[in-house]
Amino acid sequence: MTALLDAYERLLRAIAALEKAVGVFLIAVIVVTITIQVFTRYVFDRPIVWVEEVATYAFIWGAFIGAALGHKTRRHIRIETFVSRLGPRGTAAMRIAAEALILLLCWLLATTAWTVMGVEARSRSIALPVDIPRMWFYSVPLFFGTVSIAIASVYFLLREAQALAKGGGGPDAGGRSIARRWACSSGSSRLCS
């Protein structure tokens, strides 16, 4: 079981590394395109119409990738005050319930996004010089984001279940300690102590 979960963790780390690279690239795209927009408007007095659209689509993709990455490094804001008073077993049980609910939501969103893709495939972007179906900017990033969140949630759920089987292990047992370690290695020093 532990060996299997360790392999799973390596997979998650690979996904997280990919998400970081793509996400940072998208942020760079936003900064560069908008700067170009200001520049072209004032220097050449001729704004490029599709620049704004490129930046907006990079923003949407970046948001869903960031949300998925944030789930892996436990950056989503949670209310933890009460859970910590439940004791190790109670904490682990509550976390399992939370991950199960997240999985339910991801399943709802991902399946619906899948259906929506069919509808959106027919409408096109407005200003871009290349012809791309709209779904690539709406339902596809939503689908990818929720699937990525679900993959991480399954892992956290299994880790918590393992901790529960061992009798629980305090507030930092299970998925959280791993998320904390990742957050530290990703350079957000606030979570490291």
Query: Which residues of this protein are in contact with another protein, per CB under 8 A?
Result: 20, 23-24, 27-28, 30-31, 34-35, 37-38, 52, 55-56, 59-60, 62-71, 73, 75-83, 94-95, 97-98, 101-102, 104-105, 108-109, 112-113, 115-116, 119-120, 137-139, 141-142, 186-188, 190, 193
CB of 3 to another protein, least distance (A): 27
Amino acid at residue number 172: D
CB 163 to another protein: min, Å: 14
CB of 23: closest distance to another protein in angstroms?
4
Write phi, then psi, for 133 (nearest 5 degrees): -60, 145
Nearest approach, Cβ of 4 to another protein (angstroms)? 25
Q: How far is the CB of 82 from another protein (least distance, A)?
A: 4
Of the two residues 37 and 162, which places its CB atom closer to another protein in the complex? Answer: 37
Closer residue to another protein (CB): 162 or 186: 186
CB of 159 to another protein, least distance (A): 14
Nearer to another protein, 4 or 50 (CB): 50
Which of 11, 123 has the CB closer to another protein?
A: 123
DSSP string, the chain: -HHHHHHHHHHHHHHHHHHHHHHHHHHHHHHHHHHHHHHHHHHSS---HHHHHHHHHHHHHHHHHHHHHHHHTT-S----TTGGGSHHHHHHHHHHHHHHHHHHHHHHHHHHHHHHHHHHTTSB-SS-SS--BGGGTTHHHHHHHHHHHHHHHHHHHHHHHHHHHTT---TT-THHHHHHHHHHHTT-GGG--
Q: Which of residues 9 and 180 has its CB atom nearest to another protein in the complex? A: 180
Smaller CB separation from another protein, 65 or 163: 65
Diameter of the chain by CA atoms? 68
Residues paired with 124 in a beta bridge: 133
